[in-house]
């Protein structure tokens, strides 16, 4: 198993269109943001604290946001949303308030929030987490492979975990310094693990496993699968009728699933996905990249219409984005 980086603190703030840049989720994982409307997405922050063999991460954004990615295949994640849980979803599943979730290794990530939200996760190997659970009460809780486990926390334990996270974040933040001592790192990692274990057992250790055949989970998986189908189509623009045929659903059924799972029609969802793909390509443009090339690559055949939609979503013309990126890269 690959060891996480030594004890290091890193915090990054992104503004405006720069928020679409990808970032790492532990070693071997990644996460990318999609902007829904530039007015709603003016800032996002990410915090990472490596603690030897474990890692604490958090994200905080000020407006509506979609996120897509994949977790590391070597670590499970204990996650808690501390702001915005009432309108945040993970793979189509409502996050809720005060729900501690354990996500399996290599989990696909489809994150969606309709407003300001903040979350944090603690990455640890399955073996070490199971060992800690058994040490507290052997045999009481067994981690379920390939499944998300949810523990509805008592209010006091939820608040204790939230306070612990905020205290550790404050303690770790030292301007001009990037590393913590081994002793401090070990202390923080143990405090986090004990906090999670105590909260789990205080909830009477009753997990609510989200089964692979759960309807909400299946719908979330369907949306992720249709994204892959869309991206595999010629110029990233598979027709919705062909998409429905490929999935075995009717167009009406797809409309219902998307509306209930992500609050958008399939058409609007995929326009947003493709538009953000075009934005990311422009932000990472090579010297010979043109707006026309990018528009065509993402299935927008009418350049003027693409430019108008792009401006409506991102607040500037694609030519302006490209010009600004080239000026910045000089």
**β-pairing verdict for 65-70 and 108-113:** antiparallel
The whole-model pTM stands at 0.86
Q: Evaluate if residue 205 carries a pLDDT over 90.
A: no
pLDDT at 285: 92
Q: Evaluate if residue 212 carries a pLDDT over 50.
A: no
What is 8-210's CATH superfamily? Answer: Jelly Rolls (2.60.120.10)
**What proportion of the chain, given as a percentage, has pLDDT over 90?**
52
Domain boundaries, the chain: 8-210, 215-328
pLDDT at 94: 86
Task: Check if CATH label 1.10.287.620 holds for domain 215-328.
Answer: no
Render pLDDT for 84-135 as a digit per residue (tens, 0 to 9).
999 999 888 889 899 999 999 998 889 999 999 999 999 999 999 999 999 9
Highest averaged pLDDT of the listed ranges 39-53, 182-196, 203-217, 235-249: 182-196
pLDDT at 310: 96
pLDDT at 179: 66
Query: Cβ(313)–Cβ(300) under 8 Å?
Result: no
79 or 39, higher pLDDT? 79
pLDDT at 238: 75
Q: Evaluate if residue 1 carries a pLDDT over 70.
A: no
Q: Evaluate if residue 5 carries a pLDDT over 50.
A: no
Render pLDDT for 179-197 as a digit per residue (tens, 0 to 9).
677 888 888 999 999 999 9
Q: Is 119 helix (H, G, I), strand (E, B) or coil?
A: strand
d(CA 166, CA 160): 10
Render pLDDT for 288-321 as a digit per residue (tens, 0 to 9).
999 999 999 999 989 999 999 999 999 999 999 9
Task: Give the pLDDT band (50/70/90) at residue 216.
Answer: confident
10 Å CB burial of residue 177 (0-12, 13-18, 19+) is: exposed
pLDDT at 10: 81
Q: Evaluate if residue 39 carries a pLDDT over 60.
A: yes
Long-range contacts of 39-46 (CB under 8 A, 24+ apart): 39/63, 39/315, 40/64, 40/65, 40/115, 41/16, 41/65, 42/15, 42/16, 43/13, 43/14, 43/15, 43/19, 44/13, 44/14, 44/19, 45/11, 45/12, 45/13, 45/14, 46/11, 46/12, 46/14
d(CA 135, CA 139): 9
Which range (18-27, 273-282, 289-298) has the least confidence? Answer: 18-27
Render pLDDT for 50-79 as a digit per residue (tens, 0 to 9).
888 899 999 999 989 999 989 999 999 999
pLDDT at 7: 53
Q: Which two tokens stand for residue 236?
A: 């990233």
Q: Which residue has the tokens 């990054």?
A: 12
- Mean predicted confidence (pLDDT) in 218-242: 81
- Mean predicted confidence (pLDDT) in 269-297: 94
315 or 215, higher pLDDT? 315
Q: Evaluate if residue 270 carries a pLDDT over 90.
A: yes
């Amino acid at each position: 198993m690959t060891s996480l980086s030594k004890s290091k603190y890193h915090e990054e703030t992104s503004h405006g269109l720069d928020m679409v840049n990808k970032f790492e989720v532990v070693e071997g994982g990644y996460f990318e943001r999609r902007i829904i409307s530039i007015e709603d997405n003016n800032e996002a922050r990410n915090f990472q604290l490596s603690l030897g063999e474990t890692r604490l991460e958090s994200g905080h954004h000020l407006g509506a946001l979609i996120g897509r990615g994949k977790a590391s295949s070597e670590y499970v994640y204990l996650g808690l949303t501390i702001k915005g849980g009432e309108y945040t979803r993970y793979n189509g599943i409502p996050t809720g308030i005060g729900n501690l979730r354990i996500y399996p290794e290599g989990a696909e990530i489809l994150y969606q929030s309709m407003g300001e939200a903040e979350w944090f996760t603690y990455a640890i190997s399955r073996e070490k987490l199971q060992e800690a659970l058994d040490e507290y009460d052997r045999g009481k809780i067994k981690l379920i492979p390939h499944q998300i486990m949810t523990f509805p926390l008592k209010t006091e334990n939820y608040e204790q975990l939230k306070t612990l996270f905020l205290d550790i974040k404050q303690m770790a933040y030292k301007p001009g310094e990037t590393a913590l001592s081994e002793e401090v790192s070990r202390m923080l990692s143990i405090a986090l693990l004990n906090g999670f274990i105590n909260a789990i057992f205080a909830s009477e250790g009753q997990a609510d496993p989200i089964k692979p055949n759960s309807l909400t989970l299946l719908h979330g998986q369907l949306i992720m699968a249709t994204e892959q189908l869309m991206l595999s189509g010629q110029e990233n623009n598979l027709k919705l009728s062909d998409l429905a045929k490929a999935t075995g659903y009717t167009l009406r059924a797809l409309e219902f699933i998307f509306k209930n799972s992500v609050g958008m029609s399939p058409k609007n969802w995929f326009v947003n996905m493709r538009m953000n793909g075009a934005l990311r390509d422009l932000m990472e443009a090579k010297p010979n990249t043109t707006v026309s090339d990018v528009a065509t690559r993402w299935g927008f055949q009418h350049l003027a219409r693409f430019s108008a939609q792009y401006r409506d979503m991102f607040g500037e013309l694609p030519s302006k984005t490209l010009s600004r990126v080239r000026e910045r890269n000089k």
